[in-house]
Amino acid sequence: MTDVLLLMGSHQRVRAGTLALQEKFHSLKSISAYIQLTWLGHSCVLLSGTKKVLIDPFIEGGSVAYTNPDIVAVTHGHADHMGETVALKKMTVAISEIAKYLKTKGVPAEGMNLGGTISVDGISFTMTPALHSAWIEEAGIGCNGGAAAGFVIRMDGVTVYHAGDTALFSDMKLIGELYRPDVALLPIGGRFTMSIAEAMMAANFVGAKTVIPIHYNTWEKITVNPVPFKEAIERTTDLKVKILKPGESVEILSTRVK
């Protein structure tokens, strides 16, 4: 009888130890990662984590130089996206044609193309398609800027999709399935990009749990009210829309199992 009790006690201790190891293992797998995302206005977004990544460094009537980014990412060559890229003279990620142009201006640049992925200072950049024009407008009468693009950026365990200037396209579903972004930055201003109706479908295609509208209310021609966008998405899906004021920040978390 004593032998049976000893055996039972040993089994319980082993089982308890196994459960403790399993709990520790699962907690390590689901450690939350986060970055700070700041919408500076228009399409300009600052991602702050291990590094500071500034996307499309333009705001109307102001400067973003104070952000002092480590890396700049440019989605396409239009002046309201290239913005202060040349003046900042920071390492810049852009499509090959823009990167070559920037190098002639003394800007360190990493060129890439649609579908490609590169790592810069430990930050991953994947260039995604965008349906838009891409002329480099600051170069006198302009020059070829390659193609317009978006970015999937991975930093500190968080995945951000910045759609750039774009129309709706069905391959946004693939962006969602392949990269599973934690947040999607989508233009909603219409006329030059998607409007609210198309952006709602884009949000569903991408499937990021957090959606932030961009590229609106900069000028009269792209003036929209983002509240119906938020209300419609949150009423019909489990996605959440964060409407930010220029300069406002939000913490983006990822608890995805690694």
Coil, strand, or helix at residue 88? helix
Same domain, 17 and 46: no
Judgement on whether residues 9 and 97 belong to the same structural domain of the protein = no
Query: How many domains are contained in the chain?
Result: 2
pLDDT digits (tens, 9 = 90+) for 158-182: 999 999 999 999 999 999 999 999 9
Looking at the structure, tell me whether residues 181 and 116 fall in a common domain.
Answer: yes
Contact 158, 124 (CB under 8 A): no
pTM of this structure: 0.87
Q: How many whole angstroms separate alpha carbon 23 and alpha carbon 19?
A: 6
Q: Are residues 172 and 69 in the same domain?
A: yes
CB 239 within 8 A of CB 203: yes
Percent of the chain at pLDDT exceeding 90? 83
Mark whether 150 and 49 lie in a shared domain.
Answer: yes
Same-domain check for residues 95 and 156: yes
Confidence class of residue 10 from pLDDT cuts 50, 70 and 90? very low
Q: Does the pLDDT value for residue 207 go beyond 80?
A: yes
Q: What's the pLDDT tens digit per position in 208-255?
A: 999 999 999 999 999 999 999 999 999 999 999 999 999 999 999 985
Q: Are residues 2 and 107 in the same domain?
A: no
pLDDT at position 138, please? Answer: 86
Question: Does the pLDDT value for residue 8 go beyond 70?
Answer: no
How many CA atoms within 13 Å lie on the side-chain side of 176?
Answer: 18
**The pLDDT value given to residue 258:** 43
**One domain for residues 164 and 190:** yes
Q: Between 172-179 and 196-206, two packed helices, what is the crossing angle to 10 degrees?
A: 30
Q: Are residues 61 and 124 in the same domain?
A: yes
Q: Is residue 24 predicted with pLDDT exceeding 70?
A: no
More confident residue, 130 or 21: 130
**Arithmetic mean of pLDDT, 89-100:** 98
Give the Cα separation of 108 and 106 in Å (integer). 7
> What CATH number is attached to the domain comprising 124?
3.60.15.10
Quickly tell me which residue has 């957090």 as its tokens: 210
Residues 56 and 128 in one domain: yes
Average pLDDT of the chain is 89
Question: Which position has the higher pLDDT, 143 or 81?
Answer: 81
Q: What is the widest separation between alpha-carbon atoms in the chain? A: 95
* Cβ pair 210, 232 in contact under 8 A: no
Cα–Cα dist 149/98, whole Å? 11
How confident is residue 256, by pLDDT bands cut at 50, 70 and 90?
Answer: low
The answer to whether residue 196 scores a pLDDT higher than 50 is yes
Higher pLDDT, 205 or 254: 205
pLDDT at residue 32, rounded to an integer = 59
- Check whether residue 23 and residue 144 sit in a common domain: no
Q: What angle is formed at CA 185 by the lines to CA 123 and CA 226, rounded to 5 degrees? A: 160
Domain interval for residue 6: 1-30
Query: Residues with Cβ < 8 Å from 135, sequence gap 6 or more?
Result: 77, 78, 142, 143, 144, 145
Q: What is the pLDDT of residue 169?
A: 98
> 14 with 110, same domain?
no
The more confident residue out of 137 and 141 is 137
Q: What is the pLDDT of residue 254?
A: 85
Which residues on adjacent β-strands are paired with residue 118? 125
Long-range contacts of 216-222 (CB under 8 A, 24+ apart): 216/187, 216/188, 216/189, 216/190, 217/189, 218/41, 218/42, 218/60, 218/80, 218/189, 219/60, 221/191, 221/192, 222/189, 222/190, 222/191, 222/192, 222/193
Determine which of 23-32, 101-110, 236-245 has the lowest per-residue pLDDT on average.
Answer: 23-32
